[in-house]
Structure 1
Amino acid sequence: MQETFTPSAESFAASAPGIGFFEKWLSVWVALCIVAGLALGNLFPGAFETLASWEYASVNLVVAVLIWAMVYPMMVAVDFASLRHIGDRPKGLVLTVVVNWLVKPFTMAALGVLFFEFLFAELIAPADAQQYIAGLILLGAAPCTAMVFVWSQLTRGDATYTLVQVSVNDVIMIFAFAPIVALLLGVTDIAVPWETLLLSVGLYILIPLAAGALTRRWLVAHANRNEGGEAAVARFTAAVKPFSMLGLLATVVLLFGFQGQVILDQPVLIALIAAPLLIQSYGIFALTYAAARAWRVPFNVAAPCALIGTSNFFELAVAVAISLFGLNSGAALATVVGVLVEVPVMLSLVAFANRTQRLFPTT
């Protein structure tokens, strides 16, 4: 089957020539924000306590604004019209849906229990261990939305496939995220505040998704004829993208400001949380990549397929962790560690995929 490109896919391919300087070094910026947060939290604890008090219905208002700044630009980039191509090259879509929703959340929960209830049991208090497990579950149940476009472009992936995958994931996420998280939290004996969980889905998935869809529709409808609707969308998302990154980094500063004393008392904590995340990331990639090769999926579908299953929608995980467990919770800390390890891991997998593309058919 020949590649099928919609105008949306062409626009995406043209507007995403590769990972930018800021994204490439995202882990460095996150690390610097961690240091800044730790320093500020210890120097000005009263200011952070005031920020923590600005909440309504378990939602911290400051963090909510920052999370919306992160999520909204990504949602504008989602083109639900691409769903009409859901039947094109179904093998890759089947693999990523199965991995994202039937494998990844459950293996992440299993690894969390293994590490924090058994392997690290002597190092971490039981109550803290439950919090870190909860954070890992939230990461595992939130498949990537935004950075998918970057990973796909770096492996010269099928642009239409990537758009379809993001759209399908977002639709499934609306209905499956809360039940899967509730199920896994229940299995691990963590109390499930259903009202807060559903509120988080509404705040951080439904509302940004609706706002993004409306913005996209308006941009396409009012685009200059010479420019085209998709070019207008690409220009708009490029303009608001810095706000997304600033929102992420400001959230990291806040989280580590609240966590400052805990982390300084336990300097190896970040490494302990990162261990199961690293195993999960490389394991999920290996599983999906091997399955794609066995099923003879073309490389320009197989590579994004495996990378999408590996990456996380960490912005959503951070937001829900804060809503469910609080700004200074271990769950929120675990999701931020996910941000720290994501970029270097994904870049290493992109390099591996590009080196092994000869193992896959081209069509």
Structure 2
Amino acid sequence: MSQTADTASPQDESDVLHRLSFLDRFLPLWIIVAMAAGLLLGSVLPGLQGVLDAVKIGQVSLPIALGLLLMMYPVLAKVRYDRLDTVTRDRRTLVLSLVLNWVLGPALMFALAWLMLPDLPEYRTGLIIVGLARCIAMVIIWNDLACGDREAAAVLVALNSVFQVLMFGVLGWFYLDVLPGWLGLDTTSINVSPWEIALSVVIFLGIPLAAGYLTRRLGERTRGREWYESRFLPRIGPVALYGLLFTIVVLFALQGETITARPLDVARIALPLLVYFAIMWAGSYAVGRAAGLSYPRTTTLAFTAAGNNFELAIAVAIGVFGVTSGQALAGVVGPLIEVPVLVALVYVSLWLRRRWSAAQDAGTAVQR
């Protein structure tokens, strides 16, 4: 895993937003516009749910299912699956990432959801699902902007993608059913089937994961990696955003009455998310620094631990609980909060990078 990402110039550091694509730069704005469009559509077409439910895949209407699959596929087509075999070269980073992503992250979101939303079980469940959906390819954008280790990020993202297929259903059952029972928490208002969670993961992550893997293998084999990453991926990249925005429009069209009647609920969902992102990023950064990792590796560790796969969280929430559920609404609030917070943390990372370099230079001067 190279560490050439640490060579970015100070001029590049001061221009973070301009290094984002036009669509990524204004992602929070597009989400807000999609929410408003959904509310307007719901008031104009009150019979929309009946139209959407005319054709279903399982419990999910066909148009929404297609939107969810389109949302996931481009992201998973970006993952470099051939880098998975390099994870054994840095076991320290690998172990820290697995512990932060699959032990501490879900446990922290579980605790915050129960502490801050004890009276809102649907939103609480939705947040726990967000905590279980670990980061995938979009985190590479934030990692690159913060001058993290690109190769390490690609490996950790690929690992998380595969691990989610295997473990999401199990962890969902544990955090939504088993652990609350052990702690004596009241879960009578929520009925969660681990098989429904597993089925949603297989459909909405397994299918696009297989498609993304095959697309990369075939694309690189026939046209080469340079063509695949510089020509093909930029063409399909916006499809993920279109799928996400379509899903948000439909969700808010169907939930318009609930949202307008209880606007403070959105703020209550946002608060634990803000706390979660801050603790996960700062805690992961501190762990990486204490473990003696370099700045690029520490930055990659922090962003891959703090980021979440909100596409999968939305898909699972809709697949298990329905598009009009509070769980689905909690999933949609996730990217609205995550994107601006992680962009802000890119600036914090670059500030820490300058302090890190200054400390290293001072240490070198003392040794001389």
Q: Tell me if TM exceeds 0.5.
A: yes
Q: Deviations over 1:110-162 (max 9, x none)?
A: 11111111xxx4xxxxxxx1111111011100111121110111012212101
1:42 aligns with 2:38: no
User: What does 1:154-165 correspond to in 2, within 5 Å?
Assistant: 154-165=145-156
d(CA) in 2 for partners of 1:20, 1:180: 35
d(CA) in 1 for partners of 2:207, 2:267: 35
Counterpart of 1:126 in structure 2 is: none
Are residues 234 and 200 of structure 1, via their aligned partners in 2, closer, same or farther at CA, if it must alter by over 3 Å? farther
Task: Work out which of the residue numbers 136, 139, 153 in structure 1 matches 2:130.
Answer: 139
Counterpart of 2:295 in structure 1 is: 299
Counterpart of 1:184 in structure 2 is: 175
1:229 aligns with 2:225: yes
- Does the 8 Å CA contact 2:196/2:320 hold for their aligned counterparts? yes
- Secondary structure of 1:45's counterpart equals coil
1:272 aligns with 2:259: no
Counterpart of 2:203 in structure 1 is: 203
d(CA) in 2 for partners of 1:313, 1:95: 19
Deviation at 1:58, TM superposition (A): 1.4
Are residues 198 and 158 of structure 1, via their aligned partners in 2, closer, same or farther at CA, if it must alter by over 3 Å? same
1:80 aligns with 2:81: yes
- Secondary structure of 2:147's counterpart equals coil
- Secondary structure of 1:191's counterpart equals coil
d(CA) in 1 for partners of 2:45, 2:2: 59
Q: Deviations over 1:71-110 (max 9, x none)?
A: 1111111122101211233333322211110011111011
- Secondary structure of 2:88's counterpart equals coil
Deviation at 1:359, TM superposition (A): 4.8
Query: AA paired with 1:215?
Result: T
- Does the 8 Å CA contact 2:86/2:155 hold for their aligned counterparts? yes
- Does the 8 Å CA contact 1:77/1:234 hold for their aligned counterparts? no
d(CA) in 2 for partners of 1:295, 1:231: 38
Q: Deviations over 1:226-248 (max 9, x none)?
A: xx334324421110111111111
In the alignment of these two chains, the number of paired residues is 337
| TM-score normalised to structure 1 length | 0.88
Q: Deviations over 1:251-286 (max 9, x none)?
A: 100111111000111121211110111001101111
Task: Work out which of the residue numbers 130, 135, 140 in structure 1 matches 2:121.
Answer: 130
- Secondary structure of 1:216's counterpart equals helix
Deviation at 1:53, TM superposition (A): 4.4
Counterpart of 2:141 in structure 1 is: 150
Structure 2's unaligned 5+ residue stretches are 6-17, 181-186, 361-368
Deviation at 1:2, TM superposition (A): 6.2
- Does the 8 Å CA contact 1:41/1:256 hold for their aligned counterparts? yes
d(CA) in 2 for partners of 1:334, 1:294: 34
- Does the 8 Å CA contact 1:18/1:153 hold for their aligned counterparts? no
d(CA) in 1 for partners of 2:37, 2:290: 46
d(CA) in 2 for partners of 1:28, 1:4: 33
- Does the 8 Å CA contact 1:296/1:360 hold for their aligned counterparts? no
Deviation at 1:308, TM superposition (A): 1.1
Task: Work out which of the residue numbers 296, 313, 317 in structure 2 matches 1:317.
Answer: 313
d(CA) in 2 for partners of 1:84, 1:99: 21
- Secondary structure of 1:356's counterpart equals helix
d(CA) in 1 for partners of 2:168, 2:233: 25
Deviation at 1:302, TM superposition (A): 0.8
Q: Indicate the larger mover: 258-267 or 79-88.
A: 79-88
Percent sequence identity is 36
Q: Deviations over 1:18-75 (max 9, x none)?
A: 4212112111110111111111112211123321443232122111101111111111
- Secondary structure of 1:87's counterpart equals helix
Task: Work out which of the residue numbers 270, 280, 286 in structure 1 matches 2:282.
Answer: 286
d(CA) in 1 for partners of 2:121, 2:169: 18
User: What does 1:23-38 correspond to in 2, within 5 Å?
Assistant: 23-38=24-39
Counterpart of 1:354 in structure 2 is: 350
Q: Deviations over 1:159-216 (max 9, x none)?
A: 2101111111112112111111111110342322233212111111211111111111
Counterpart of 1:246 in structure 2 is: 242
- Secondary structure of 2:293's counterpart equals coil
Deviation at 1:333, TM superposition (A): 0.2
Are residues 2 and 252 of structure 1, via their aligned partners in 2, closer, same or farther at CA, if it must alter by over 3 Å? closer
Q: Indicate the larger mover: 262-271 or 315-324.
A: 262-271
Deviation at 1:358, TM superposition (A): 3.9
d(CA) in 2 for partners of 1:4, 1:303: 13
d(CA) in 2 for partners of 1:296, 1:95: 12
Counterpart of 2:109 in structure 1 is: 108
d(CA) in 2 for partners of 1:113, 1:207: 32
d(CA) in 2 for partners of 1:174, 1:56: 19
Task: Work out which of the residue numbers 257, 279, 295 in structure 1 matches 2:253.
Answer: 257
- Does the 8 Å CA contact 1:216/1:233 hold for their aligned counterparts? no
Counterpart of 1:169 in structure 2 is: 160
- Secondary structure of 1:78's counterpart equals coil
d(CA) in 2 for partners of 1:176, 1:198: 9
- Secondary structure of 1:206's counterpart equals helix
